[in-house]
Amino acid sequence: MDLKFRVEADCGETEARLGRLQTTHGEVETPIFMPVGTQATVKALTPDELESLGAHIILGNTYHLAVRPGIDTVRTLGGMHEMAQWKRSILTDSGGFQVLSLAKLRKVNERGVQFRNHVNGHLLDLTPEHAIELQEAIGSDIMMCLDHLVQPGSPRREVEAAMDRTTRWAVRCLEARTRDDAALFAIVQGGTDFDLRSKHVADLTAHPFDGFAIGGLSVGESIPEMYATLAHTAPLLPKDKPRYLMGVGRPVDLLEGVARGVDMFDCVMPTRNARKGSLFVDGGRRKINLRNAKFREERGPLDPTCECYTCSRFSAGYLRHLLITKELLVYRLLSIHNLWVYLGLMRSIREALGSGQFSAFYQSWKAGLDSP
């Protein structure tokens, strides 16, 4: 697929860029944060709520949907767009992250990954070809190649071997693609080794992928290591194709990622943290724990500076009560707040890039952080 992507503005002092991405299901302005809908739903939220928050693209997970409800059921229900009633764009992970997160339940060889799935122990034979077949059945707008992600701190020879296997798998994914309405992104690996990252970029960009993801970060390395690896890798990628940083992260990480040249982000953090009562406030600069007793009789909002549905209508004390008593409504309300913060930060970043003020915005936003 000739994915339509163009850079509309860039920052002369950083690698940040403002872009526009056209998929089969609509236009996506970048930089963008993509809420995670692992099971074909962003937990607790309706499609209308996601749209009102400003989400233009969400994620689905190939491994999890292949396990439940099963890909035949997904096909019968019309794919993820139809069954979830989400009319905008969808990106799907290939299942590669589960190679790491479910390491005790799988075996990896050149052919692919064999999982004993975490639900009933049945075999899921995930080859590069099958990963594409599954994602095409889901109806992804943007598919990811199957990659081999190794444990953090693995010896260099293991990191390099997995990286080279990822290249071979990526080529097989490219050859297996049958739908011309779905883009395909390759995933750059190589740990925190700059030489390996450079080699992998060179290997992958020799093939006609529609975009590139930076994988294997935020998996145990230090924050400085992550930022340094990102600063080295992102500018090496083609300037005319979208760049996606997988599974990252905190609001400050999004800002730092944009400054290093990233266009797309995803992470479970805003919704997962919300369900635990961990809320981002002050535009994402600080985090509060709503379970703290100091909020018990708080009549004001979670965040006086926030204009989201939750903060506009409910007191922090009431929300804490819902959280402590495990009332279902609270998971919806707190998820709305955290996603408002994340998507609002990305809107502000795009506005700053569009007005030529990103560098000033970057410095001002970081100056308000609780800590470096």
Marked catalytic residue, from 147, 210, 253, 266: 266
Q: Is residue 93 annotated as part of the catalytic site, yes or no?
A: yes
Question: Contact, 254 vs 346, CB < 8 A?
Answer: yes
Q: Which of these, 174, 116, 164, 180, lies nearest to 144 by C-alpha position?
A: 174
In the block, tokens 């075996």 appear at 107
Candidates 48, 93, 141, 370; catalytic one = 93
- Structure tokens that stand for 73 in this block: 């059921």
Query: Which one, of 75, 78, 82, 84, lies nearest residue 38 by Cα?
Result: 84
CA max distance for the chain: 60
Distance CA 234, CA 357 (A): 21
3-class state of residue 124 by DSSP: strand
Helix then strand then coil, % of the chain, to nearest 5: 45, 20, 35
Q: Which of 78, 102, 10, 24 is nearest to 56 (CA)?
A: 24
266 catalytic? Reply is: yes
Place of tokens 């639900």: 119
Q: State how far the Cα of 38 lies from the Cα of 20, in Å rounded to an integer.
A: 25
Burial 102-136 (b: 16+ CB within 10 A, else e): beeebebeeebbebebbeeeeebebbbbbbbbbbb
Look-up of token digits 């996603």 = 339
Catalytic site residues? 93, 266
